[in-house]
Structure 1
């Protein structure tokens, strides 16, 4: 996938946006659904900060029942 995923909301400070980056990375690792790649803070035209990332599909091995 090559499209950007925009994390909900814009933040007043770059620090708040960076905290959201950490949350996105941790959440994706916990769920193991996809790994975020190229997570970045961007500045919107309004002057506020946002978070966007690209997803990389994770290869999660399927569970085998014995």
Structure 2
């Protein structure tokens, strides 16, 4: 079962949410404690967009980091 971390804020457009995805993937404050994986944009019932990601704890090897 995936545990999702929801990034703060909802956005009016998918482009704004995509910019937030780029920030999440590049942010050292997030990557220092846990590397974000499966970053995705989701849409709420009211039509706004949000960003969520599952994360892997630092120091735990994966098939992609080997």
Q: TM-score, normalised by structure 1?
A: 0.79
Provide TM-score, normalisation by structure 2. 0.79
1:37 alignment partner, SS class: strand
Larger Rg: 1
Unaligned 5+ runs, structure 2:
61-66
Counterpart residue number, 1:9: 9
Distance 2:2 2:49 in 1: 22
Alignment of 1:1-66 (within 5 A): 2-27=2-27, 30-31=28-29, 32-59=32-59
**C-alpha RMSD of matched pairs (Å):** 1.7
* Unmatched runs of 5 consecutive residues or more in structure 1: 61-66
1:56 CA drift (Å): 0.4
